Structure 1
Amino acid sequence: MADAICSNVMLDLETMGKGPDAAIVAIGACTFDIAAGKIGTAYYNRVDLATAVSCGGVIDASTVTWWLQQGDEARSEIAREGGMHIAEVLRSFEVWMDRHTHDAEVWGNGASFDNVVLRGAYTRNGTSAPWAWWNDRCYRTVKALHRDVPMERLGTHHNALDDAISQALHLIAMLNPKEAG
């Protein structure tokens, strides 16, 4: 499925804030097919925090404090050198979406977080998000409706790509339990 054009994307952001204008430090995403129960292509990039802030992203102290309490792997991943300028990451994500999706439903963990924050970053950078607003989907809502379906975490918790893949697999298990796995 890695080369297929998909209509579902799971998005996960790591940020330094909680509001709609939160400064983004990493974007992870994967395409997936609910009916086939498969994960497709993946996207991951780290953002240079200084560029996220210079382009209007906001840092809040409580989120920084929260990050200080997270695991070493997750913290070191967002802190290491080499993050790209936010504008470059946004363009890169747009190119990835164009190559691997068509009229994608973009799932985020919370109706007011991942999709909203990323859409806001695009707006602050003078461009539009690479998906239609009516295709925003809320993974957290589905999760609340299927509390009996356990989530299996893969990789590092609070790594944007690992979280996106774990969430996509969990969503598949909830919406198409016969195909999960």
Structure 2
Amino acid sequence: MTSAAGVHLAEPRVAPANSEENTMFSDVMIDLETLGTVPGCAIVSIGAVAFNEFEVQPTGFYQAVSIPEWSVAGLTPEGLHKDESTIGWWQKQSSEARRVFEEGHFSTRVVLSLLADYISDIGSPRVWGNGADFDNPIVAAAAHKVGLNPKSIWKGYNGRCYRTVKSQFQDIKLVRTGTHHNALDDAISQAQHMVRICQNRGWRLC
């Protein structure tokens, strides 16, 4: 891969399945699809994937939330809000992206509990979201609303902002794979981007 400046960039490896390295992941990238843009909004789906400075886990976490009448603004049965402008935005997205509204079979509480299990299986990783005001605080607010302790999902001090790092290395571009606005595909793309930054700039995850 070559950057806009013509610099050759190393590509992240994908860890081989069942290797010992799969237990050596220090970080998790999460991505949300939502029906709003601020904490307290309804979560549509959550994608997450573990990574380190060298590679991305070959499998990740993905769950969609069951949201009755997703296209009608107001509150979900769990008390999370569905924003009219975000609903309008979703209605303009690809049919592949909107398929998420047919995939949800679990409540927000169940999906967040499953996410907590996924993160716990990795250990106590740093958890990266795309924006200090978006993914991580939206998860925390939703957890509070459905009666979960956000610290049961990850410790607050382990929260990190991918967008901040991305802004410091603008010559190393994000390369999207899969379906844009699919939460797992976006999480994988962002994790691969972090690995390229680490490999090509000697940046350390911390």
TM-score (norm 2): 0.79
Distance in 2, matches of 1:137 and 1:60, equals: 26
Distance in 2, matches of 1:16 and 1:83, equals: 17
Look up the match of 2:186.
163
Unaligned runs of 5+ in 2: 1-14
How far did residue 178 of structure 1 move?
7.2
Aligned to 1:125, which of 139, 146, 159? 146
Query: When you count strand as a share of all residues, which structure comes out higher?
Result: 1
Look up the match of 2:45.
26
Distance in 2, matches of 1:106 and 1:29, equals: 9
Instruction: Report matched runs for 1:128-143 at 5 Å.
Output: 128-129=149-150, 130-143=153-166
How far did residue 39 of structure 1 move?
2.9
Length, aligned pairs only: 176
Look up the match of 2:115.
93
8 Å CA contact 2:96, 2:179 repeated in 1 = yes
8 Å CA contact 1:37, 1:176 repeated in 2 = no
TM-superposition CA deviations, 1:12-43 (whole Å, max 9, x none): 00000111111001000000011x23335400
The residue type paired with residue 110 of structure 1 is: G
Instruction: Report matched runs for 1:1-181 at 5 Å.
Output: 1=15, 2=17, 3-34=22-53, 36-50=54-68, 53-76=76-99, 78-99=100-121, 101-129=122-150, 130-177=153-200
Unaligned runs of 5+ in 1: none
Other structure's SS at 2:81 match: coil
Distance in 1, matches of 2:79 and 2:196, equals: 37
Indicate the percent of aligned positions where both proteins have the same amino acid. Answer: 40
Give the number of the structure whose alpha-carbon radius of gyration is greater: 2
Distance in 2, matches of 1:82 and 1:33, equals: 30
Other structure's SS at 1:44 match: strand
Distance in 2, matches of 1:30 and 1:81, equals: 19
Q: 1:170 to 1:88 in 2, by over 3 A?
A: same
Other structure's SS at 2:193 match: helix
The residue type paired with residue 89 of structure 1 is: V
How far did residue 141 of structure 1 move?
0.8
Q: Aligned Cα RMSD in Å?
A: 2.0
8 Å CA contact 2:109, 2:148 repeated in 1 = no
